[in-house]
Amino acid sequence: MSDATPSLPLYNRSLLPESQRERVDVVLVSPRNPLNIGAVARAMANFGFTQLTVVAPYEPHWREARSAVGAPELLTNARETTSLAEAVRDCSLVLGTGTLTHRKAEQPVIRLDNLAPLAAEALGRGERIAVVFGPEKHGLTREDLSFCHHLIEIPTDPRQPSMNLGQAAAVCLYELATRVGPSPGKSSSPKDRTHPETKTEESKAVEKPAPTSGNLDILAGLIEDVMVAAKYSPATMQEANRHDLRLILRRLKLSAADHRRTLGLFRRILWRLKR
């Protein structure tokens, strides 16, 4: 008999590489029931995800949830933040989840089964991804979704469109863990095995990570300052304009270079206005 280490079971070989799973953040916004938080942690452990963030939890003792079977350390190591903006600050692709039954989406909507190519592209550029779940009673608010690049719609029967938090997390994480596959541009064909130093400047630019959510918020704050200085945004409209700016900047899909240029442009405009 061979002394070689047994290979992984076939059902584990198809999982997303661990190095990429570590760049997927699961974010729970204001969850109320610790048992649901534990169920999400268990689903994360099932598919090898480890990065959990809980935003403004309702129950202070959520880390003690008994439903986190096989994943107590995941709750212990989870990050807690006071705002969604802080939770997704380092992510370049933020994916909100929910149903369209009682809302009109303001951002592009993708069905869960069409998520894989989008996630593969972001992970292939070395970006962080956040998958955001809302409170059990009403889901993500319009304000929460303004921080999201896309809204993921989970296909469900119209007679029962909503899902339990743990179940919703499980099906989303299954899609990410098993269907993302190799990232675009990473195939093994001779054309794609070019030495890094011989790549063109254009291909290098394409591979650079997109601006993070935190970087977009910095730009949005600067544009808001310009709007106020130019007397374009009266006090009564500032909150609505702030919401719209977040949405617009995420729809534009700015490259890192375009983000820097736009920052420089608005800084110059603000300097001129304040003179």
Q: Taking 60 as the threshold, does the pLDDT of residue 193 lie above it?
A: no
Among 71-75, 93-97, 198-202, 237-241, the range scoring the smallest mean pLDDT is 198-202
Average pLDDT of 129-141? 92
State the pTM of this model. Answer: 0.84
As separate numbers, helices (DSSP H) first and strands (DSSP E) second, the chain gives: 12, 7
pLDDT of residue 33: 92
**Can you give the residue range of the structural domain that contains 77?**
18-179
Q: Is residue 154 part of a domain?
A: yes
**Which CATH number does the domain housing residue 172 bear?**
3.40.1280.10
Q: Taking 90 as the threshold, does the pLDDT of residue 265 lie above it?
A: yes
Same domain? 24 vs 149: yes
Q: Taking 70 as the threshold, does the pLDDT of residue 71 lie above it?
A: yes
Q: Is residue 184 part of a domain?
A: no
Q: Is residue 251 part of a domain?
A: yes
Same domain? 105 vs 239: no
139 or 192, greater pLDDT = 139
Domain final residue, candidates 158, 179, 200: 179
Same domain? 25 vs 138: yes
Q: Is residue 201 part of a domain?
A: no
Average pLDDT of 178-197? 49
Q: What is the pLDDT of residues 137-175, one digit of tens each?
A: 888 999 999 999 999 998 888 888 778 999 999 999 999
Same domain? 146 vs 41: yes
Q: Which of 205, 217, 224, 225 is nearest to 249 (CA)?
A: 217
Q: Which helix H or strand E contains 79, and what residues bound it?
A: strand 79-81
Instruction: Determine the Cα–Cα distance for residues 81 and 274; give it in Å rounded to an integer.
Output: 35
The answer to whether the CB of 149 falls within 8 A of the CB of 95 is yes
